[in-house]
Amino acid sequence: DHLGAADSVVAWHRHEGVVRLTVNRPKALNALNEEVIEALETALDALERDAELRGVLISGAGDKAFVAGADITRMRELTAPEARAFAGRAQTVLKRLERLPVPVVALVNGFCLGGGCELALACDWAVAGDNAVFGQPEVQLGIIPGFGGTQRLPRRVGPAMALELVTTGRKIDAAEALRIGLVNQVMPQAELDTYAETLGDELRASAPGAVGTAKRALYDGMEQPLDSALALETGLFALCFAGDEQAEGMAAFVEKRPARF
């Protein structure tokens, strides 16, 4: 366990395999600029190599914002080719985050707008503090979401709701985000840390190989027609029986003891 780069624009703290990443530019409501994207790339380089990793929890520094979007002062200066490069780089980072073989969860502690909402959408699920505000306000700035929002938002909340949010740019509160399925749970903001600890314990108790295989089955399968997706599941299900975790998990059940993964 170690504390890494606590003063970086992406601070991170690892405790028994569960890493908490904190986007740390509170004066700009944690807006994403190239420096943050680069810090996320560095974090991902380490996370992808971390064989003991069990989960990643992401939040924003301070009590006001998760991430209030891409940095508008920076975007203001971009030419079209630069905008393409910035968005492409950020999309690659978010895809890597999504494909980590462990649960990646957004703990949304305030404003979650634009690129911030897209960061939350790249997480496997999100939980929100009751003060959270969500939205894709890009059309109010004369642009569209560029970090995956036009694609992941409809996959999460359905096309009609996504179209409404993306074309009006309207902001919604945590209760509404819960109702439409953008977040899984809402709690008092002060309870997000307790949730993180409880979730961390749950993640450490699950068989890590099975968790990674389950994520693969879901993400790969969702992109396929049902028949090939079901075939994918069958193959991955069988693969579980070729490893040690299935033997240990089932032996532990029969012997009435906790499993040791």
Binding residues (CB under 6 A) for ligand CO8: these are 28-29, 31, 68-73, 75, 78, 83, 86-87, 111, 113-115, 137-138, 141, 145-147
Is 118 catalytic? The answer is yes
**What is the smallest separation between the CB atom of 164 and ligand CO8, expressed in angstroms?**
17
3-state DSSP call for residue 261? coil
Options 35, 48, 52, 118, the catalytic residue:
118
Q: Which is nearer to ligand CO8, 69 or 103 (CB)?
A: 69
Here the tokens at position 138 are 């890009």
Q: Which is nearer to ligand CO8, 12 or 147 (CB)?
A: 147
**What is the smallest separation between the CB atom of 13 and ligand CO8, expressed in angstroms?**
24
Category of 131 on φ-ψ map: left (φ > 0), alpha (ψ -120 to 50) or beta:
alpha
**What is the smallest separation between the CB atom of 132 and ligand CO8, expressed in angstroms?**
11
How far is Cα 9 from Cα 39, in angstroms, rounded to an integer?
7
Burial class (CB in 10 A: 0-12, 13-18, 19+), 7: exposed
**What is the smallest separation between the CB atom of 68 and ligand CO8, expressed in angstroms?**
4
Smallest CA-to-CA distance from 98 within 229, 225, 219 is with: 219
| Closest chain position to ligand CO8 (CB) | 114
With vertex at residue 118, the alpha carbon angle to CA 2 and CA 205, rounded to the nearest 5 degrees, is 40
For residue 260, give Cα distances in angstroms to 25, 155, 239, 251, 252.
39, 36, 19, 10, 8
Q: Which is nearer to ligand CO8, 65 or 203 (CB)?
A: 65
Q: At what angle do helices 244-254 and 208-222 cross, to 10 degrees?
A: 120
Options 48, 52, 138, 191, the catalytic residue:
138
Q: At what angle do helices 115-122 and 149-157 cross, to 10 degrees?
A: 60
Q: Which is nearer to ligand CO8, 73 or 242 (CB)?
A: 73
**What is the smallest separation between the CB atom of 147 and ligand CO8, expressed in angstroms?**
5
**What is the smallest separation between the CB atom of 72 and ligand CO8, expressed in angstroms?**
4
How far is Cα 98 from Cα 100, in angstroms, rounded to an integer?
6
Smallest CA-to-CA distance from 3 within 26, 22, 29, 28 is with: 22
Check if the beta carbon of residue 102 is closer than 8 Å to that of residue 55. yes
Q: Which is nearer to ligand CO8, 12 or 66 (CB)?
A: 66
Q: Among all residues, which ones are annotated catalytic?
A: 118, 138
